[in-house]
Structure 1
Amino acid sequence: MYQENNRETSEILEELYKKGFKGNLCTGCTDSYILATKVNKNLKLTCRKCGTTKLLNIKKIFASKA
């Protein structure tokens, strides 16, 4: 199992923010509030307002440096 998959959700989000993630991921309503949960080897980001979801591969988040 990859080390990236053993990281806590907060560590993964911290890495995303270091790479320029602003939290404004929802394309449906442009809301800037998200819920983040780990699902298998992915980070699932869900818009609190409209429920739109996006999956990000955890390994890819840590693979490339900004």
Structure 2
Amino acid sequence: MPRYFYNVRTAGVLEEDKHGAEFLTYELAYEEAIRSACEIVGELIATGSVVDSRAFEITNEAGEILDTLQ
């Protein structure tokens, strides 16, 4: 089963997802990325943190960026 990683880039600094998660399809991985990004942004807003400098990158096991959520 393919493994996907959800990295967070804040003001150009990359925080890598070291573990990733396995999904049957990229579409399922993308849906989870959206849910996770919404949770993270919600927590940041609740604590008064800046959210406009963050991007969420979905990568495959080879490290290729498949999509970016901003």
What's the TM-score once normalised by structure 1's chain length? 0.29
- Structure with the bigger percentage of strand: 2
Tell me which of the two structures has the higher relative contact order, counting C-alpha pairs closer than 8 angstroms and 6 or more residues apart: 2
